[in-house]
Amino acid sequence: MTSIRVLIADDHTVLRAGLRALLEAEPDLKVVGEATDGHDCVEQVLELTPDVALVDINMPECNGLQALAQLQEQAPDTRVLVLTMHDDAGYLREVLASGGAGYVLKQAATSELLSAIRTVSEGGIYLHPDHAKLLADDTAADGAAPEDDDMTVRYLSLSAREAEVFKLVALGHSNGEIAEMTFLSVKTIETYKARLMHKLDCHSRAALVRYALELGILSSPSGNTPTRT
């Protein structure tokens, strides 16, 4: 089994030790380094080239968001998973906009963190359904609307099933979960996902999430979601 190589970046020694013990108890995870601040994180990622960097937002010298921006530019192959105490739509938006691959709260269950690491290591984006809803509600409250009318046109070109899969993907569900929810096979879900990504001109799961948030399709039924006919 090929191990997922993880770097932990957090300024709390006890937390880093706990995370290392947790991750190294998993046969498919390997901690390759620890960083105490954003600058240290960037330097170690460039040197160690981990698959996933588990990064806290609040760190001295250079915070996690600043480190994320640098890593997107200097080490795009390393997936950055933010681990934070902030259950806040503003931070969520900034992480996604900066290219972060996922967002997990420090008080989340162990199983969620492990699932998030594995998801982002495979090229996906991890966003808990509750966080997707938080962002959607925040977008609706701001009265945000797509800047490009063509986004709506592309969305309306989706079939009913493609639109359903699109929303479930944007909510953070895996292909397997969507297959169970729609009573379809995983292979069929992958086909629908490939089609809708082509139609929407989105080339990653992160892009799909941002598209959905900008378009407002995760808002409540009373929102301004484009009507499909």
Give the residue from 73, 101, 127 where a domain finishes.
127
- Distance (Å, rounded) from C-alpha 100 to C-alpha 120? 10
pLDDT at 224: 46
- Distance (Å, rounded) from C-alpha 218 to C-alpha 229? 18
pLDDT at 142: 52
Domain range for residue 198? 145-215
List the CATH number of the domain containing 48: 3.40.50.2300
* Residue that has been written with the tokens 């010298």 in this structure: 61
Are 117 and 151 members of one domain? Answer: no
Say how many domains are in the chain: 2
Residue 44 within any structural domain of the chain: yes
Residue 45 within any structural domain of the chain: yes
- Distance (Å, rounded) from C-alpha 229 to C-alpha 213? 21
Give the residue from 96, 127, 158 where a domain finishes.
127
Q: What is the DSSP letter of 191?
A: H
List the CATH number of the domain containing 167: 1.10.10.10
Half-sphere exposure of 151 (CA within 13 A, CB side): 17
Are 109 and 192 members of one domain? Answer: no
Cβ–Cβ under 8 Å, residues 132 and 209: yes
Residue 136 within any structural domain of the chain: no
Write the burial class of residue 90 (CB in 10 Å: 0-12 exposed, 13-18 middle, 19+ buried). exposed
Are 78 and 157 members of one domain? Answer: no
pTM value > 0.85:
no
Are 21 and 49 members of one domain? Answer: yes
Cβ–Cβ under 8 Å, residues 131 and 173: no
Are 9 and 52 members of one domain? Answer: yes
pLDDT at 73: 87
Per-residue pLDDT of the chain (229 residues; tens, 9 = 90+): 689 999 999 999 999 999 999 999 999 999 999 999 999 999 999 999 999 999 998 888 888 889 998 998 899 889 999 988 887 777 777 887 777 888 888 888 888 899 899 988 887 778 776 676 666 565 555 544 445 557 777 888 888 888 899 988 887 777 888 999 999 999 999 999 999 988 888 887 777 877 887 776 654 333 344 545 4
Are 153 and 96 members of one domain? Answer: no
- Distance (Å, rounded) from C-alpha 189 to C-alpha 201? 18
